[in-house]
Chains A and B, each alone.
Chain A
């Protein structure tokens, strides 16, 4: 059974810091891994999708890496800004299905 864990649960940093969010999963037989951002009371915004054959994906100040063998992904945010404050979620599909399993998220606050 696929389980997804995100550490830390919450993070508060001053503006300008580089930071790393972690996502781990128990079943390494995945097609892909997707990172999302969620603002309070809103839907999810897709940030990055990493296919199982890829090691990294980059979009602007965001870089996501994937290590399938160890069941880990990291989301790196460079030069954080107050507008980055949100909850960040990772999700992986359960092996052999289209059912995505989400972590509980990391709640990020970037202080001006």
Chain B
């Protein structure tokens, strides 16, 4: 078990470009979360998957943001037409199935996005 991995670790892009991030969860975990974190703040929930189904989305996830988990394993988060306000750390977490309610989350190292 290698934990949750994210790629890339750092991304610098120009305003208006599209970017895509990847998250590989712990292999037996069927739940996957994306968060965004800005300096001095706690992570903000973006979206949640159970297997391949996207079950919750935050209002923070504007039309420019899309997330997928096509085979219930890895997930991608795409940001289209990036803006300087998108600069943040994007965190992925996974958790195992539990018969009732949310379970313990395990986080990846994050992808630091800088939009120039």
A interface list, Cβ under 8 A from B: 4, 31-32, 34, 36, 41-46, 49, 89, 91, 93, 97-105
Which of B62-70, B76-84, B101-109 contacts the other chain? B101-109
Top 4 A-B residue pairs of the complex, sorted by shortest distance between their CB atoms? A102-B42, A31-B101, A44-B107, A43-B107
Q: Given A31-B101, A49-B104, A93-B101, do A44 and B43 touch, yes or no (CB 8 Å)? A: yes
Q: Which of B4, B31, B110 contacts A98 (CB 8 A)?
A: B31
B residues adjacent to A (C-beta < 8 A): 4, 6, 31, 33, 40-45, 48, 50, 55-56, 58, 89, 91, 93, 100-110, 112
Which residues of chain A have C-beta atoms less than 8 A from B45's C-beta? Answer: 99-101
Q: Are A105 and B109 in contact (CB under 8 A)?
A: no
Looking at B40, B89, B91, B101, which has the most chain A CB atoms within 10 Å of its CB? B101
State whether B33 touches A100 (Cβ < 8 A): yes
Query: Interface of chain A, helix or strand or loop or mixed?
Result: strand
Least Cβ distance of A86 to chain B in Å? 14
Q: Give 8 CB contacts A-B under 8 Å.
A: A31-B102, A34-B104, A44-B91, A93-B102, A98-B102, A100-B33, A103-B42, A104-B42
